[in-house]
Protein backbone atom coordinates (compact mmCIF):
# COMPACT_ATOMS: atom_id res chain seq x y z
CA UNK A 1 0.00 0.00 0.00
CA UNK A 2 2.66 2.62 0.77
CA UNK A 3 3.96 2.22 -2.79
CA UNK A 4 0.54 3.11 -4.20
CA UNK A 5 0.71 6.52 -2.51
CA UNK A 6 4.00 7.43 -4.19
CA UNK A 7 2.47 7.92 -7.70
CA UNK A 8 -0.29 10.11 -6.22
CA UNK A 9 2.32 12.20 -4.43
CA UNK A 10 4.36 12.50 -7.63
CA UNK A 11 1.25 13.51 -9.56
CA UNK A 12 0.44 16.11 -6.92
CA UNK A 13 3.97 17.49 -7.17
CA UNK A 14 3.73 17.67 -10.97
CA UNK A 15 0.39 19.48 -10.79
CA UNK A 16 1.70 21.92 -8.18
CA UNK A 17 4.81 22.47 -10.30
CA UNK A 18 2.72 23.26 -13.36
CA UNK A 19 0.59 25.71 -11.38
CA UNK A 20 3.73 27.39 -10.09
CA UNK A 21 5.06 27.76 -13.65
CA UNK A 22 1.74 29.25 -14.80
CA UNK A 23 1.58 31.69 -11.89
CA UNK A 24 5.18 32.77 -12.44
CA UNK A 25 4.48 33.17 -16.16
CA UNK A 26 1.54 35.46 -15.44
CA UNK A 27 3.63 37.50 -12.99
CA UNK A 28 6.42 37.86 -15.55
CA UNK A 29 3.88 38.92 -18.19
CA UNK A 30 2.29 41.53 -15.94
CA UNK A 31 5.53 42.90 -14.51
CA UNK A 32 7.73 42.84 -17.60
CA UNK A 33 5.60 42.78 -20.73
CA UNK A 34 2.62 45.02 -20.00
CA UNK A 35 4.75 48.10 -19.20
CA UNK A 36 6.72 47.60 -22.43
CA UNK A 37 3.56 47.50 -24.55
CA UNK A 38 3.63 51.27 -24.66
CA UNK A 39 6.61 50.94 -26.99
CA UNK A 40 7.75 54.40 -25.98
CA UNK A 41 9.20 56.18 -23.03
CA UNK A 42 6.95 59.15 -23.83
CA UNK A 43 5.23 59.82 -20.51
CA UNK A 44 2.52 61.85 -22.26
CA UNK A 45 1.12 58.67 -23.85
CA UNK A 46 -1.95 57.22 -22.16
CA UNK A 47 -1.47 54.04 -20.13
CA UNK A 48 -1.53 50.89 -22.27
CA UNK A 49 -0.87 52.89 -25.43
CA UNK A 50 1.67 51.94 -28.03
CA UNK A 51 3.12 54.55 -30.32
CA UNK A 52 3.27 52.84 -33.70
CA UNK A 53 6.02 53.31 -36.25
CA UNK A 54 3.59 54.56 -38.85
CA UNK A 55 3.21 51.38 -40.85
CA UNK A 56 0.43 51.28 -43.43
CA UNK A 57 -2.77 49.90 -41.92
CA UNK A 58 -3.73 46.56 -43.42
CA UNK A 59 -6.68 47.10 -45.72
CA UNK A 60 -9.89 45.20 -45.11
CA UNK A 61 -13.43 45.12 -46.40
CA UNK A 62 -16.21 44.10 -44.02
CA UNK A 63 -20.00 44.30 -43.95
CA UNK A 64 -21.73 46.87 -41.83
CA UNK A 65 -25.05 46.11 -40.14
CA UNK A 66 -26.94 47.13 -43.32
CA UNK A 67 -25.03 44.54 -45.35
CA UNK A 68 -22.93 47.17 -47.17
CA UNK A 69 -19.20 46.63 -47.67
CA UNK A 70 -16.91 49.15 -45.96
CA UNK A 71 -13.28 49.21 -47.09
CA UNK A 72 -10.67 50.89 -44.88
CA UNK A 73 -8.73 52.27 -47.85
CA UNK A 74 -11.88 54.15 -48.96
CA UNK A 75 -11.61 56.20 -45.75
CA UNK A 76 -8.20 57.71 -46.63
CA UNK A 77 -8.08 61.42 -45.91
CA UNK A 78 -9.82 60.93 -42.56
CA UNK A 79 -8.60 59.87 -39.13
CA UNK A 80 -10.07 56.44 -38.35
CA UNK A 81 -10.39 54.81 -34.93
CA UNK A 82 -10.71 51.02 -35.30
CA UNK A 83 -11.99 49.28 -32.16
CA UNK A 84 -12.05 45.47 -32.07
CA UNK A 85 -14.69 44.21 -29.66
CA UNK A 86 -17.38 41.59 -28.94
CA UNK A 87 -20.71 41.64 -27.09
CA UNK A 88 -19.43 39.19 -24.46
CA UNK A 89 -16.43 41.42 -23.63
CA UNK A 90 -17.39 43.48 -20.56
CA UNK A 91 -14.54 46.03 -20.93
CA UNK A 92 -15.54 46.48 -24.59
CA UNK A 93 -19.11 47.28 -23.61
CA UNK A 94 -17.93 49.69 -20.89
CA UNK A 95 -16.11 51.92 -23.38
CA UNK A 96 -18.81 52.02 -26.07
CA UNK A 97 -20.74 54.99 -24.59
CA UNK A 98 -17.46 56.94 -24.54
CA UNK A 99 -16.92 56.18 -28.23
CA UNK A 100 -20.47 57.23 -29.08
CA UNK A 101 -20.20 60.49 -27.12
CA UNK A 102 -16.86 61.38 -28.73
CA UNK A 103 -18.11 60.50 -32.21
CA UNK A 104 -21.14 62.75 -31.59
CA UNK A 105 -19.00 65.60 -30.21
CA UNK A 106 -16.19 65.39 -32.79
CA UNK A 107 -17.59 64.19 -36.12
CA UNK A 108 -14.27 64.95 -37.85
CA UNK A 109 -13.11 61.33 -37.63
CA UNK A 110 -14.50 57.89 -38.44
CA UNK A 111 -15.28 55.54 -35.57
CA UNK A 112 -15.33 51.90 -36.67
CA UNK A 113 -16.28 49.16 -34.24
CA UNK A 114 -15.33 45.71 -35.52
CA UNK A 115 -17.29 42.96 -33.84
CA UNK A 116 -15.52 39.62 -33.67
CA UNK A 117 -17.24 36.42 -34.81
CA UNK A 118 -20.86 37.20 -33.91
CA UNK A 119 -24.03 37.26 -35.99
CA UNK A 120 -25.58 40.39 -37.47
CA UNK A 121 -28.81 39.72 -35.55
CA UNK A 122 -27.05 39.39 -32.19
CA UNK A 123 -24.97 42.52 -32.73
CA UNK A 124 -27.90 44.59 -34.03
CA UNK A 125 -30.10 43.72 -31.05
CA UNK A 126 -27.24 44.37 -28.64
CA UNK A 127 -26.49 47.81 -30.13
CA UNK A 128 -30.14 48.86 -30.16
CA UNK A 129 -30.39 48.07 -26.45
CA UNK A 130 -27.24 50.13 -25.76
CA UNK A 131 -28.09 53.08 -28.04
CA UNK A 132 -24.84 52.75 -30.01
CA UNK A 133 -25.02 54.33 -33.47
CA UNK A 134 -21.44 54.68 -34.70
CA UNK A 135 -20.44 52.41 -37.58
CA UNK A 136 -20.12 48.74 -36.65
CA UNK A 137 -18.55 46.18 -38.99
CA UNK A 138 -18.85 42.41 -38.75
CA UNK A 139 -15.70 40.29 -38.80
CA UNK A 140 -17.28 36.84 -38.95
CA UNK A 141 -13.99 34.93 -39.04
CA UNK A 142 -11.74 37.35 -37.08
CA UNK A 143 -9.64 38.09 -40.17
CA UNK A 144 -8.97 41.68 -39.10
CA UNK A 145 -7.90 40.62 -35.59
CA UNK A 146 -5.46 38.15 -37.14
CA UNK A 147 -4.19 40.68 -39.67
CA UNK A 148 -3.60 43.29 -36.95
CA UNK A 149 -2.15 40.74 -34.50
CA UNK A 150 -4.76 41.50 -31.83
CA UNK A 151 -4.31 39.30 -28.76
CA UNK A 152 -6.90 40.89 -26.47
CA UNK A 153 -10.21 42.70 -26.63
CA UNK A 154 -10.75 45.56 -26.65
CA UNK A 155 -7.91 46.86 -28.77
CA UNK A 156 -8.18 50.17 -30.63
CA UNK A 157 -6.04 51.46 -33.49
CA UNK A 158 -5.79 55.07 -34.63
CA UNK A 159 -5.08 55.47 -38.33
CA UNK A 160 -4.07 58.86 -39.73
CA UNK A 161 -5.26 60.56 -42.92
CA UNK A 162 -2.59 58.79 -45.00
CA UNK A 163 -3.69 55.35 -43.80
CA UNK A 164 -0.78 54.92 -41.38
CA UNK A 165 -1.29 53.37 -37.94
CA UNK A 166 -0.20 55.92 -35.34
CA UNK A 167 -1.44 54.42 -32.07
CA UNK A 168 -2.61 51.11 -30.66
CA UNK A 169 -4.49 51.12 -27.35
CA UNK A 170 -4.97 47.97 -25.27
CA UNK A 171 -7.99 47.67 -22.98
CA UNK A 172 -10.66 50.14 -21.93
CA UNK A 173 -10.12 53.70 -23.07
CA UNK A 174 -11.15 56.73 -21.03
CA UNK A 175 -12.55 59.91 -22.65
CA UNK A 176 -9.29 61.73 -21.82
CA UNK A 177 -7.22 59.04 -23.50
CA UNK A 178 -9.43 59.06 -26.59
CA UNK A 179 -9.29 62.85 -26.91
CA UNK A 180 -5.49 62.72 -26.46
CA UNK A 181 -5.24 60.53 -29.58
CA UNK A 182 -7.61 62.73 -31.58
CA UNK A 183 -5.76 65.87 -30.50
CA UNK A 184 -2.37 64.49 -31.56
CA UNK A 185 -3.86 63.45 -34.91
CA UNK A 186 -5.31 66.93 -35.52
CA UNK A 187 -9.01 66.08 -35.17
CA UNK A 188 -9.34 68.26 -32.07
CA UNK A 189 -7.62 71.64 -32.08
pTM of the model: 0.77
Phi then psi dihedrals of residue 146, to 5 deg: -65, -45
Closest CA to 63 of 149, 150, 140, 156: 140
Residues of the chain with pLDDT under 50: 27-41
pLDDT of residue 33: 44
pLDDT at 11: 75
> Distance (Å, rounded) from C-alpha 24 to C-alpha 32?
12
pLDDT of residue 41: 46
- Which pLDDT does position 140 carry in this prediction? 97
Residue 100 three-state SS: helix
CB 189 within 8 A of CB 108: no
pLDDT of 169 reads 95
Q: What is the spatial distance between Cα 149 and Cα 152, in angstroms, rounded to a whole number?
A: 9
Amino acid sequence: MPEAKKPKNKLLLVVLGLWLVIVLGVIVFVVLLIPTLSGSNDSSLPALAKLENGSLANDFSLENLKGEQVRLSDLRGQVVAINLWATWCIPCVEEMPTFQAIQDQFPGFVMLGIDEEESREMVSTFLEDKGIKYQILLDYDAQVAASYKVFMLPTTFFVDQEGMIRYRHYGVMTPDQFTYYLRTLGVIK
